C-alpha cells in the first residue's frame, strides 16, 4: 500500500486494484496507465485479440465498481494523486464506450 501511495494512488484506488484478478490488474495497468498497445497486451497476456479485449473490459468494469464502493465506504473523496486522476480519466472513458469527454 505504501508503494501505491508514493505513486499517488489513493486508498480507494488501491482497494479497487486489489479487487481485480492478477490478469485483469496487469491488463488495466499495462494498457491504461503504461500505454501498451492492444497487440502488445495480447502478447503479454498470451491471448488473442478478443481474449485480451474481454479481460481488459472486464477489469475496467470491476475496477470502477470497486473504486466507487471503496469511496462510498470511506465516506467521500480523498486526496488524489496524478496516477489516481489518470485512472479516473481512463475509467470515465471506458464507461463512455471509449469516447473522450469534451
pLDDT digits (tens, 9 = 90+) for 59-87: 999 999 999 899 888 776 555 667 777 88
Split at pLDDT 50, 70, 90, the class of 101 is low
How do residues 30-40 score in pLDDT, each as one tens digit? 988 888 888 89
For residue 71, the model assigns a pLDDT of 86
List the single range of 38-42, 85-89, 95-99 with lowest mean pLDDT: 95-99
What per-residue string of b and e applies to 67-87 under the rule 16 or more CB within 10 Å gives b? Answer: beebbeeeeeeeebbebbeeb
CA–CA separation, 84 vs 46, rounded Å? Answer: 28
CA–CA separation, 13 vs 68, rounded Å? Answer: 9
Check if the beta carbon of residue 51 is closer than 8 Å to that of residue 65. Answer: no
Amino acid at each position: 500500500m505504501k508503494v501505491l501511495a508514493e505513486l499517488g494512488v489513493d486508498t480507494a484506488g488501491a482497494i479497487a486494484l486489489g479487487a481485480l484478478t492478477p490478469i485483469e490488474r496487469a491488463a488495466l495497468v499495462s494498457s491504461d496507465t503504461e500505454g501498451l498497445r492492444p497487440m502488445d497486451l495480447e502478447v503479454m497476456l498470451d491471448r488473442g485479440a478478443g481474449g485480451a479485449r474481454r479481460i481488459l473490459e472486464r477489469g475496467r468494469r470491476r475496477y470502477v465498481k470497486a473504486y466507487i464502493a471503496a469511496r462510498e465506504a470511506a465516506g467521500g473523496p480523498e486526496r488524489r494523486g496524478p496516477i489516481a486522476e489518470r485512472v479516473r480519466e481512463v475509467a470515465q472513458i471506458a464507461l463512455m464506450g471509449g469516447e473522450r469527454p469534451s
